[in-house]
Amino acid sequence: MNLKVITRNIGIALLLNALFMYISAIVSAIYDFDASFSPLLLSAIITSVVGGFPLIFVTKSYDINIREGFIIVVFAWIIACLFGMLPYVLYGGEFSIINSWFESVSGYTTTGATTLTNIEDVPKGLLFWRSSTHWLGGLGVVVFMLLVLPSASSFRMRLSKMEISSLSKDNFRFKINQTIRVISSVYLGLTIAQTILLNIAGMDFFDAINHAFSTVSTGGFSTKNLSIMQFDSFPIELIMMIFMVLAGVHFGLLYSVIAGKPGNLFRSPIVRFYLLSLLVGGIIISLNIWITGTTSGLIASLRQGFFQVISIGTTTGFATADSSVWPAFSILILIYFSFQCACSGSTTGGLKADRVYIFFLSVRAQLRKHIHPNAVVSIKLNEHSLERDVVYSVNLFIALYITVVFVATMLLTLMGVNMEDSLTSSVACMGNVGPGFGSIGSLGNYFHFPTLAKLLLSIEMLFGRLEIYSIMLVFLIFRWR
Amino acid sequence: MGIRKKISMGFVVIGSILFLSSVIAVFEFSRMRSSVTELMTANINSINTSRMLMELTDEYNFILMSRVIIDSSITSAEILYDDRFDSYIANIKGNFSSENEIAIADSLALSYSKYLSVISNSRGIMSAGIEERKEWYENDLKPVFTDLRKYKKELGLITQTALALNTNKLQEGYYRSIMPGIIAVGAGIVLVLLFNYFINIYFISPILLISRGIKNYRDFRKSYSVQIDNDDEIEELNVEVKTIVEENKKLKSIK
């Protein structure tokens, strides 16, 4: 294992983080050198010095093997989270050490769960840094690294396999160089477009860019205590909904739409399944909250129902209503969406619509097999028969995912967290959704959780973001042959 | 990049971090000192003001009592119309920043002037009958004195709240002053460890490999096949050693 290349690449990832810390310090300077200026500047200096140090010695770029690739990806995330918490720790206030770590991990993993009880009290520079961690995490520290590193294609392939769900590559056969270009251009394009539209819809520029960062990365950090509810504007909600849905689609498909092939979007069975599930979920929840009198009027029900379904179903986590007080039926549907989430190849977390779709196909195939025991039943996705291994690994992943959620829930109850909070926080953090239900609902926060619970949930966020296996493999790295 | 430059840069970076951490420590502690001084001054001012207000009111009450008991001949102008109260109020308002605090200070000033106005009539009241005096006490003196006490109490509460806030500020200031130093020192330690690691893998390990390779060649006639993946003088040294070993082999074969 070449430790030189590992330290060099992690150093480059840190330098990119430092760049955004400097930008946040500039934002702080624009807002009359608010209280976050010196924490951000100092963090930027420390991060850039530590990140740049390995480059003094490791001047050459090397090709890397799969083992190094795993270590770089996992450690780049963890170290980025560690250095990303520096501005919070230095600022103090509500940010204790554990709260800073939780906020940093939640930012980078695009979870959007917060420990802040009064977001609007936080200086603008720090709020910008908070949204930047979403943006950086969404695009992926590793993808950033690939953009700045003139490395071999094999290197890129290995890293991206970890960063982008491998299922997306089965569906859409992009070359890896092209994939990185596509992701970055779509990502940047969506961010700029949303910022402009939100600004036109009445949000001030600072809020618009922060919310665009959070939406495109499907994070969910807001600059307001009441999240999107604060704005009480239908145009803003509509823009947010459109961009949340778009951010949940495979970026390669979005690129093909931009490139003049909009038909590709609806030809994908995964996208059809994803959009249809959001539509059905939205209608059912809207009707449920309308009939039970939770909201006043059908229009308000549709507005709130669809927003919440899209927000949870894309793992974003913004809110226009406190869904914790909704009927149990609606809450359970939202919990289902916290598991399913959106398409692979996007920045969303969770099981991914792809896996859930394949799971349903495999259940159907199994039923057919029971009816016709001698029949050869294949599982087809987009005219292609799926290999047994793919179906097996998908179902195994789902089982593993649910096991991790269950174990974390049990551990949380052991720490004194109540049943509802334990289950929904575990689901929300594993799926990188952010808000759960109960005290950690869309308008709540994780401030009151015990320290160990926050630590456990932050580990769960990392597990969810790196799709479980990557972290587990790093622990077994020295046993590889 | 050459060895000299690499090592020098390593030391420069570590030195810079240490320098930075010491600058931060000095800066933060001097900021802490001035903020503690400011907070202490503000707290002492607030406590003094409250105490003086209390003493002043007691003084006036005493005068009033003396008039009632011994029909004192001290004129109100001698004691009542001094500027102490006005200067206290100005002092309080100077320390206050919120509208609520200033409003309470204004209310206190107003209730004080009303109290003075009532007190100034006390001489005439002393010669009146018991019923008239009772009426004066119930309708004139008691309300203004109650108001004065109420605003004094509110002012006291504000002062106490300000003291609690100042304590929190002090704690926060202490946290903010100590954290940068700790983090800078932590970063310094990380850099020292990294530096040690790089010196080991870039300089010490290759030199040991070269030395072992030469020894193996000399003692056991093993071929010299040390591979070093550096881009500095160590790699050049390895190439030179390889050349010398090859020349040595040739010389031995000629012999």
Total number of domains in chain B: 2
Query: Would you call B183 an interface residue with chain A, using a CB distance cutoff of 8 Å?
Result: yes
Question: Are A141 and A128 spatial neighbours (Cβ–Cβ below 8 Å)?
Answer: no
Total number of domains in chain A: 1
B166 and B129: one domain?
Answer: yes
Among A5, A45, A46, A104, the residue to mutate for chain B (most B Cβ within 10 A)? A46
The domain containing residue A154 runs over which residues? 1-163
B118 and B203: one domain?
Answer: no
| A64 part of a folded domain | yes
Last residue of a domain, one of B164, B189, B214: B189
- Band (pLDDT 50/70/90 cuts) for residue A196 is very high
- Band (pLDDT 50/70/90 cuts) for residue A148 is very low
B142 and B224: one domain?
Answer: no
Residue type, A124: K
Q: What does the buried/exposed string (b/e) look like for B56-67 if buried means 16 or more CB atoms within 10 Å of the residue's CB?
A: bbeebeebbeeb
B101 and B112: one domain?
Answer: yes
B16 and B141: one domain?
Answer: yes
Among A47, A57, A101, the residue to mutate for chain B (most B Cβ within 10 A)? A57
pLDDT tens column, A419-470: 999 999 999 999 999 999 989 988 889 999 999 999 999 999 999 988 887 7
| Mean pLDDT of each 10-residue bin along chain B, 255 residues long | 82 84 78 78 74 75 70 52 70 70 82 80 73 84 86 80 76 78 87 90 89 89 83 86 88 77
pLDDT tens column, A38-82: 889 999 999 999 998 888 888 777 777 777 777 888 888 899 999
| A112 part of a folded domain | yes
The domain containing residue B221 runs over which residues? 192-254
| A125 part of a folded domain | yes
- Burial bucket for residue B26 (CB in 10 Å: 0-12, 13-18, 19+): exposed
| A269 part of a folded domain | no
B226 and B121: one domain?
Answer: no
State which of A129-133, A184-188, B52-56, B197-201 shows the largest mean pLDDT: A129-133
B140 and B237: one domain?
Answer: no
- Burial bucket for residue A296 (CB in 10 Å: 0-12, 13-18, 19+): exposed
B95 and B81: one domain?
Answer: yes
| A283 part of a folded domain | no
B152 and B208: one domain?
Answer: no
| A223 part of a folded domain | no
Q: Which residue has the tokens 């294949």?
A: A378
The answer to whether the pTM exceeds 0.90 is no
Query: Would you call B23 an interface residue with chain A, using a CB distance cutoff of 8 Å?
Result: no
Token pair, residue A334, equals: 């939202």
- Residues of B with Cβ-Cβ distance to A92 under 8 angstroms: 172, 175-176, 179
B174 and B57: one domain?
Answer: yes
Cβ within 8 Å, pair B183-A46? yes
Q: What is the dihedral of CA B168, B173, B174, B178, to 10 degrees?
A: 150
